[in-house]
Amino acid sequence: MDPTKKLSVSFLWHMHQPCYKDTLTGKYLMPWVRLHAVKDYFPMAALLEKFDNVKATFNLVPSLIEQINDYVHYGAADTFLDLTLKKARFLTAEDKLAVLENFFRVNFKRFIEPRSRYFGLLIKRGVQNTSGRSLKKKVNDFSTQDFLDLQVLFNLAWFHSISIDEDVNLKDLVERGGSYAEEDKEYIIMKQREAMSGIIPLYKKLQDAGRIEISTTPFYHPITPLLCDTSIARVSSPGIELPKKRFSHPEDAEWHITEAIKYHEEQFGLKPCGMWPSEGSVSDDVLEIMASKGIKWVATDEDILFNSLAMAEKKHKIAAAIDRRIIYQPYKFKKNSNALSVIFRDKNISDIISFNYNEWDQAAAADDLLAHFKRIAQSLRRDTDRPIALVAMDGENAWEYFENNGRGFFESLYSRLDNDEELEAATISGHLQMEPPQKTLNRIFPASWINHNFKIWIGDQQDNVSWDYLSMVRKDLATFTKEIRKGSSSDEGLRKAWKELYIAEGSDWNWWYAGKAHRSADNPFDKLYRAHLKNIYKFLKKPIPDFLKISIA
């Protein structure tokens, strides 16, 4: 087959965690950077490295890289790590309660049920997510050895089989299944830190070898169209109720984009060509900023394309029988003198991988995915252009639902793609070099990849309150900045305060409002969000406003 007629299969694996660190205390309040680093970030690159002809794009969010580096270079710790390293015989009643509440937070089907000791400890605690008074009564039912085993089993469950296969001691700990010693915990944490220390070097090595492309995201993962102007949410949701205070700070969006590019170059030695906007969120203003900063391509969801074309034709609805072949090509977005390419993901295929294949035989799932790609290639064979099928999805959250963290799926998929005659696994930039865009979009429909609107992050009462808090705190910070810069005091506190604001602009806090997490005063994301806003006042030695002391959730 003519190699120029192959379908480019382009995987974009998006890796992200919000800032879990209370920058005032230096403590990480949640462990997910550390645990996903061991289970996903290192193994995802290691799996691809085995297949010489398979290329992919990995999107590494600066807020994630920053935290990985904090663990690797500065000995960062989190509350779960502290609970792990504390000797079981010295655990307080409060510690024991925290262990019972949190150390079963892994996929039940894949990591608890198959391990008899872990499963037995869960039965002893209660399978339902018990808490409060009823759980306190059960603490005394657990022996010191029970707690020690639970400390080990929880952390062991987050290791990928790649790491276990390559380490005889980890393999022994898995096979032993229980009766662990304190030294076993120390070894496990040492291996976690070792895996974390290999992440950035491995990705850089694969990048420099031309095996992968590394793209980036605005620094702390904000919904940049809403930072530019919250009222833009009404384009996709005309009847939406917006916050009382309009937030419009495109300069903040520009900061996140500029600093992401700068940090990325520091880490990987190259400026990023591409950007996955947080949650695929785009608007004309955001794309113009990205293009002006040298970004060459942006990826988002197919529904953005459909709505952009409908908007250009002044239609209110997407055509019922739209020709899906239009998503398998790049488009040029140009506004004023700045231009970039926009690639649109195949939502159906991306969602099948995310939500369906975990229940399949893994080799059969890989075969089914390739069959989808080949049907796309056949439907486009008459076209003169080389097509691209983009799969864009979270690179960490789906795999715990797969058998063996999806290892069998990836090994089957990549081995089949390695020498396929109709398909070629390509990076996005690699494809664009061969096939630059032929069609132009003068406007982009402003929305995210979720339901082609912004309703996850704005419009609900809790979300709107959080935006109003952000507006009020930012106004205070701007006032403090003017006062401080008129005086002679150091700008160090001011720099830290602005960093806290940018962290608070991240998307994850509002993701967990609006009923997406339990509505109670102990919503950890609510606590973290307000902690970042409170820290602004603490760094500047200003009184904390009363409204920040009340849970939004």
**Tell me, what's the pLDDT at 1?**
45
**Tell me, what's the pLDDT at 523?**
81
Contact 518, 525 (CB under 8 A): no
Contact 278, 222 (CB under 8 A): yes
Calpha distance 33→275 (Å, rounded):
21
C-alpha closest to that of 62 among 250, 332, 265: 265
- The C-alpha R_g of the chain, in whole angstroms, comes to 24
C-alpha closest to that of 533 among 501, 507, 510: 501
DSSP, residue by residue, 98-166: HHHHHTT-S-IIIIITTSHHHHHHHHHH-SS---HHHHHHHGGGS-HHHHHHHHHHHHHHTS-HHHHHT
The token duo for 236 is: 């996709």
What are the boundaries of each domain within the chain?
3-16+217-441, 68-199, 461-549
**Residue partners of 225: CB distance under 8 A and separation at least 6:** 232, 281, 282, 283, 285, 286, 446, 454
**Residue partners of 92: CB distance under 8 A and separation at least 6:** none
Contact 8, 426 (CB under 8 A): yes
**517 - beta bridge partners?**
none
Q: Residue type at 1?
A: M
The token duo for 171 is: 């393999």
Q: Residue type at 220?
A: Y
* CATH no., domain 3-16+217-441: 3.20.110.20
**Tell me, what's the pLDDT at 415?**
98
Calpha distance 315→326 (Å, rounded):
18
Digit-by-digit pLDDT tens for the chain (553 residues) are: 455 579 999 999 999 999 999 998 999 999 999 999 999 999 999 999 999 999 999 999 999 999 999 999 999 999 999 999 999 999 999 999 999 999 999 999 999 999 999 999 999 999 875 667 788 989 999 999 999 999 999 999 999 999 999 999 999 999 999 999 999 999 999 999 999 999 999 999 999 999 999 999 999 999 999 999 999 999 999 999 999 999 999 999 999 999 999 999 999 999 999 999 999 999 999 999 999 999 999 999 999 999 999 998 876 566 556 789 999 999 999 988 889 999 999 999 999 999 999 999 999 999 999 999 999 999 987 665 689 999 999 999 999 999 999 999 999 999 999 999 999 999 999 999 999 999 999 999 999 999 999 999 999 999 999 999 999 999 999 999 999 887 655 688 999 999 999 999 999 999 988 656 555 556 889 999 999 999 999 999 999 999 999 999 8
Question: How many Cα neighbours within 13 Å face the side chain of 21?
Answer: 23
Q: What's the first-to-final CA gap in the chain, in angstroms?
A: 58
User: Structure pTM?
Assistant: 0.96
User: Which helix (DSSP H) or strand (DSSP E) does residue 333 occupy?
Assistant: strand 331-335
C-alpha closest to that of 164 among 182, 176, 181, 148: 176
Would you identify the CATH topology of the domain 461-549?
immunoglobulin/albumin-binding domain-like (1.20.1430)
| Local structure of 179: helix, strand or coil | coil
The total of other beta-carbon atoms located within 10 Å of residue 167's CB is 15
Task: Report the b/e string of 380-404 with b at 16+ CB within 10 A.
Answer: beeeebbbbbbbbbebbebbbbbbe
Pairing type for strands 423-425 and 439-441 reads unpaired
**Tell me, what's the pLDDT at 255?**
98
